[in-house]
Structure 1
């Protein structure tokens, strides 16, 4: 919004900055105001303030100097002082719409969006709105997540003649970005950049849109252009760190995120990205430290709290994780992700009724959400309600047939029902859609060697071991401590939320399916893969030993 306000001031001649300046109250007063305007345009703010202070002394009952002094203070980011002057100006002249506009700007800058909206509504309803008034209100509505209202305001802005199309397309592009309509956002931002190639805000938002579409090449190209335009802007390090994180270039990502945090230590988004990176490296203590710092900075930031909750879950601190969930759901009672993760924690604690209650509540809020359906299917399978499990997973696959997580869950249900051919088809398709090789190819060190993979309980497990019940052959304790192979023993959907996958589990289950079908060589290959990824998981060795005996018996049969 500030960029729109600045452009508005620059485009208006001095005589139109305020309705009052066109009337010469007295040579001394008007000269002081006009000279202050000129100083303001030259960014000589202290000299402008001196003139305006003098003008107010000369005629304290006039609103012009009060309004102009507020504008200068706003440009100097003295927002609270500016608001005092604005209120004084409006007390003297309730129809001073420039003062209303700048009071909206100051309230916007201190995040008092509702107050800003009131002033802009008053201007628009009074018939004194210009294109920037609509754009400012659109930007506030966007921040308040009133996306329909924001879009209507932008449409009205396009009705004005001589509109600044670069700004307008830029604002609409940012709205599309927030609405997660990333390609539409790119289309609008391309138009903005065609009108103004050095539009930094549009370039930054296009970079974000490319990032969300996983188009890292174009995202980095935009970032390089941003660096040329603003070589001293530390924001680039935050964005570059996030892009490199998506590319799984963790070392380079960490360097950029560290530099960004050094420059902007209170940026919760950057802190959250570094916590996510530490999580990928399974450095949960460092990840938790970052999330705790982020929560201190912004206690109502749901994303950083969700990260903290997940890290506590990974460290088996389930009660702390559940407490964090309660806080989040107090802030946002309909947070689907939080209900899913809390249901997963109850699942891990074997409190299946509590888990089902959360999943049912989430399903009532979003009945067509495949994440919820797959999670509930997994739970039903665990408690041997196979008919209900199949119903939910089938519904999820009707929403998206190429859902590798749903296929994995359905494959396991078929395996439980002894429908081994159907299970094998689902396991194979799931691995075709999201193969292990797709992860491994991103995990190269700079010398070309693949990262090692330590598997098992790791340092964060109790006594360095997983809490495994060897009698439960389908136990979820296939904890993998490196991101390249997924992680932990919870819902597959929780892994999906955090962009991970437990490959050891699906190889184990497919191997067991091959074994039931008498395809022992293929079973052995899968058990070997599973054991490499989940070293120490006893059921894999038992299954593999059984397969090896079968293969030895076959060899003996062929010999004789």
Structure 2
């Protein structure tokens, strides 16, 4: 169409017809307000054009006439429709036609600028809007549009100046509303927050606060400007019950900043009701609960937020770590703070971790973190204060010593010497402490108490008791001295006296440490129930005492209250960082519960901490780990642990017994024999044991002699094997044998007489078969199979039935050696009818196949050989 009209348009341009001089006053009005009239005009023209072809031609020609008022021009009307329908390309095509008719018309230029801006062609839009402004400087619509275009192009300062001019010139223009909003954003970007707030409030007043997003933005500007009071007042007057969750959150933040915590909590509660799945609300509410010292609710909110998928970023972990710290769950606090520091290094986070380390008495680590905190933020007053406090704490003894030395240089004072001796004792400089006490030459209770404490630390309990009794003579009513006497007697293994003095001390004054030592004494006296009562009293006086919790856990474990024991250990772990004793105790409890993997993990941690501290784990740690590794068939690792146990405690019967069995299992027969001999050398005959204990101990002796015989058998030392078995058979109730060591934890099977009753004749049979005395071997096997022949104490239990399979297999092999094939087949058939996992059935199949071949039954022999292959695979 445009190509068709170009010649005509060129002609019109040559005539220099200006559109503005041709339009009427009606044309000068805003064309947007005349759309209806122009559309009616178009309809009239269309209705007239249907009446006559000549009129149609006139109507078509009128499209190319610039003498038609712009507001009535059909192309103009159509372009407005296209703009309203957001069909900007079609609108631009129509406006291109109009600009050729009305080359300098303000409205056409304005519309073209508007369309270009809508299409994102802001540079072209800027050119058109500049032309529009020049064509009619009195109108401000183009100025507002010009500001928006500059804003879109990033010319922020120019945009702001343009808006300023437009708003100054025509503040009541309909476009002024959006201009206020845009200028507010521009003012905010250049840091003019007060101007931004003023513009946004004017904008919101003009639209009756209907733009809730802008209400939120205005609130955020108040927040960024730290004008909390004004921001809170602004939102309190505007926020409605039907507002979004975000506006209530923002209101809550303002209330929090103003330290109006109840109001803040109310806003956050409303926000949570509106959107229960918004984790940010919970995190904000947790902050209020933290500030109001309701730490349990704070933790609950944070855990709920985490379950809703709130990102565990540095800020969240730091918040939760602080809550754990206040709840005295120091290990959990440390985990979260470490996680926060991995994500983001921050001065305040290092300060928090320093406080946690101090609670674990890791002062060096705490000071190191405070140094890092101050390197990142030299103005961190909290870190400065803590560093000074912790440094003074670490150097307290040195400072006290400096002061006392300075005072003693001026004049001799016996009391000052006693004070210095106390400082030396705290620093473990016992020789210096003793010298000061001697030089003081005082004979009062205080001096003798110091002597008593120094000698106790040196494990010289007799000297300690001597001085403490002198102190008690000088001050008979002192519960402190009685408590110290109880402790010394405890360390000297005189538990009855320890109990006596500790009770006397507690009769005068409840003291946590006295209850603790009384509990430990009751434990060693074999009364864990009373021990728990005393530990409970100790914890009432001092609730946060990991040592008492560990000891109570041990007492509960002795009573087989394993779950309660684990709870105590978990609680102790919250107050004790990397405590090897806790991990060791947990490992032992898990082992008793049969939770071997958890036990192994805890024991490994305990041993690792010991290694870091250059200390040695307890015997029980290695012993239990050795047993767990043995259960897992990790024989070499288990053997190493048994060796470590015996390095620490060469007389440990449990380790010797289990290592001997393990050596038998891995075919180290000589080493097994050495272990069993070592155990048997530790017996001694005494006459004061009760019959009840002798039963178990004699079964142990029998079992050891049997195992020793088994070792001899594998070493082909058959005579020695028979000698050991003969000795085992002679052990009886009348010999009144006892042992110098505790066998209570050795292999539980020793408590059943059937073990030795079966194994002694069974091992004899193996030995006599090896030396080809088959009749004697058969006689021993028959004693097992037919109890009326001598083994009267056998029980028809699972162990007996399993061993009976082995007996039948061995007897079948002996019959085979003797050529009694029919009898051999009967025994082999009996074994294979009740095949057991413990029996190597392939050996029986193999033996039976030989007999079947010998008697000519090749078909059955081949079947057995096939089974041998299947079982072996």
TM range (shorter): 0.5 to 0.7
Partner of 1:271: 583
* 2:806 maps to which of 539, 542, 546: 542
Distance change >3 Å, CA 494–CA 271, structure 1 → 2: farther
Q: Judge which range, 208-217 or 262-271, deviates more.
A: 262-271
- Secondary structure, in 3 states, of the residue corresponding to 2:618? helix
Deviation at 1:89, TM superposition (A): 2.8
Q: Contact conserved, 2:424 with 2:433, CA < 8 A, in 1?
A: no
- Kindly provide the CA deviation profile for residues 184-233 of structure 1, in whole angstroms up to 9, marking residues without a partner as x: 2212212222232x122211111111112221332232233334433454
Uncovered stretches (5+) of structure 1, i.e. residues with no partner: 1-72, 358-375, 382-388, 434-490, 532-537, 551-560
Partner of 1:213: 525
Whether 1:524 and 2:836 are equivalent positions in the alignment is no
* 1:176 maps to which of 489, 499, 505: 489
- RMSD between aligned alpha carbons? 4.7
- Kindly provide the CA deviation profile for residues 373-407 of structure 1, in whole angstroms up to 9, marking residues without a partner as x: xxx6x4269xxxxxxx4x753x1556856456532
Whether 1:425 and 2:733 are equivalent positions in the alignment is yes
Distance change >3 Å, CA 172–CA 346, structure 1 → 2: same
Q: Contact conserved, 2:622 with 2:645, CA < 8 A, in 1?
A: no
Partner of 2:467: 153
Where do residues 101-250 of structure 1 align in structure 2 (5 Å cutoff)? 101-106=418-423, 108-109=425-426, 112-113=427-428, 115-128=429-442, 130-160=444-474, 162-196=475-509, 198-250=510-562
Partner of 1:348: 662
Q: What is the distance in 2 between the residues matched to 1:80 and 1:146?
A: 29
The structure where helix makes up a greater share of residues is 2
Q: Contact conserved, 2:682 with 2:741, CA < 8 A, in 1?
A: no
Q: Contact conserved, 1:313 with 1:345, CA < 8 A, in 2?
A: no
Q: Contact conserved, 1:291 with 1:304, CA < 8 A, in 2?
A: no
Partner of 1:83: 398
Q: Contact conserved, 1:347 with 1:355, CA < 8 A, in 2?
A: yes
Deviation at 1:340, TM superposition (A): 7.5
Deviation at 1:311, TM superposition (A): 0.9
- Kindly provide the CA deviation profile for residues 134-160 of structure 1, in whole angstroms up to 9, marking residues without a partner as x: 333433433433222322232332342
Partner of 2:260: none
Q: What is the distance in 2 between the residues matched to 1:541 and 1:217?
A: 47
Partner of 1:31: none
Pairs aligned (count):
373
Deviation at 1:418, TM superposition (A): 4.2
- Secondary structure, in 3 states, of the residue corresponding to 2:582? helix
Whether 1:379 and 2:677 are equivalent positions in the alignment is yes
Higher relative contact order (CA 8 A, sep 6+): 1
Where do residues 323-342 of structure 1 align in structure 2 (5 Å cutoff)? 335-337=649-651, 341=655
Q: What is the distance in 2 between the residues matched to 1:503 and 1:214?
A: 25
Distance change >3 Å, CA 305–CA 134, structure 1 → 2: same
Partner of 2:311: none
Deviation at 1:339, TM superposition (A): 9.4
- Secondary structure, in 3 states, of the residue corresponding to 2:789? coil
- Secondary structure, in 3 states, of the residue corresponding to 1:523? coil
Deviation at 1:246, TM superposition (A): 0.5
Distance change >3 Å, CA 124–CA 493, structure 1 → 2: same
Q: What is the distance in 2 between the residues matched to 1:501 and 1:342?
A: 12
Normalising by structure 1, report the TM-score: 0.54
Uncovered stretches (5+) of structure 2, i.e. residues with no partner: 1-387, 707-723, 761-782, 812-825, 828-873
Distance change >3 Å, CA 337–CA 521, structure 1 → 2: closer
Normalising by structure 2, report the TM-score: 0.36
Distance change >3 Å, CA 544–CA 88, structure 1 → 2: farther
Q: Contact conserved, 1:101 with 1:133, CA < 8 A, in 2?
A: yes
Rg bigger for which structure?
Answer: 2
Whether 1:509 and 2:755 are equivalent positions in the alignment is yes
Q: Contact conserved, 2:702 with 2:731, CA < 8 A, in 1?
A: yes
Where do residues 360-375 of structure 1 align in structure 2 (5 Å cutoff)? none
Q: What is the distance in 1 between the residues matched to 2:653 and 2:600?
A: 21
Q: What is the distance in 2 between the residues matched to 1:187 and 1:406?
A: 35
- Secondary structure, in 3 states, of the residue corresponding to 1:349? helix
Whether 1:406 and 2:406 are equivalent positions in the alignment is no
Q: What is the distance in 2 between the residues matched to 1:288 and 1:211?
A: 26
- Kindly provide the CA deviation profile for residues 400-441 of structure 1, in whole angstroms up to 9, marking residues without a partner as x: 5645653223334687544787546389x99xx9xxxxxxxx
Q: Contact conserved, 2:657 with 2:746, CA < 8 A, in 1?
A: no
Whether 1:259 and 2:575 are equivalent positions in the alignment is no
Q: Contact conserved, 1:341 with 1:494, CA < 8 A, in 2?
A: no
Distance change >3 Å, CA 413–CA 224, structure 1 → 2: closer
Distance change >3 Å, CA 398–CA 266, structure 1 → 2: farther
Q: What is the distance in 2 between the residues matched to 1:117 and 1:355?
A: 49
Q: What is the distance in 1 between the residues matched to 2:606 and 2:649?
A: 19
